[in-house]
Amino acid sequence: MTKKAIYPGTFDPLTNGHIDIIQRSSELFDSILVAVAKSAGKSPLFDSDERLQMAKQAFSGAPNIEVVFFDGLLVDLAKEHGARVVVRGIRNIADFEYETQMAGMNRKMMPELETVLLTTAPEWRDVSSTLVRDIARFDGNMSDFVPAEIEQAILNKLS
């Protein structure tokens, strides 16, 4: 049986921490579905299509990573794509508490859906999309936190 996992997020923007979790996941599972979420309740810097395109570009050379957009329940996306695993990265105890709550709710709606929590690599533990956006808004150097193409997209968006 092919093991397909989903890595969902808003990716506004996609950071090196996200990329690390996705690449590590792609070594654990046969295929990874990077699910770019609509971003309900947030004020994204990039619109859905821009975030989708940046993620597609970031993983264009990875044969077992597919990038899709979704707007709805994660369990519905999992059923639609035949995925039975959700991968989430955790940086700290707050992430752990949030992700275990989400995993529990997803499991109530789809009992066969497992959640795998991967600890963030130490070098990315403090990186978040929100902090990257804040650094960018104040003309800080974000080159250590995002790929060069995404850094340029952020600079273009804010100029």
DSSP state of 120: P
Q: Which of 81, 91, 107, 125 is catalytic?
A: 91
Q: How many other C-beta atoms lie within 10 A of the C-beta of residue 52? A: 18
Active site residue: 25, 26, 39, 129, which one?
129
- Active-site residue 4, yes or no? no
| Tokens read off for 19 | 């990329």
Q: d(Cα 5, Cα 74) in Å, to the nearest integer? A: 12
Q: Reply yes or no on whether 81 is catalytic.
A: no
Structure tokens at 41: 């309740």
- Looking at residue 121, the DSSP 8-state letter turns out to be P
Tokens standing for residue 149:
């193409």
- Tell me how far apart the alpha carbons of residues 46 and 67 are, in angstroms, rounded to a whole number: 16
Vertex 65, ends 148 and 118: CA angle to 5°?
85
**The one catalytic residue among 3, 42, 108, 137:** 42
- Catalytic pick among 4, 18, 51, 88: 18
Positions marked catalytic: 18, 42, 91, 129
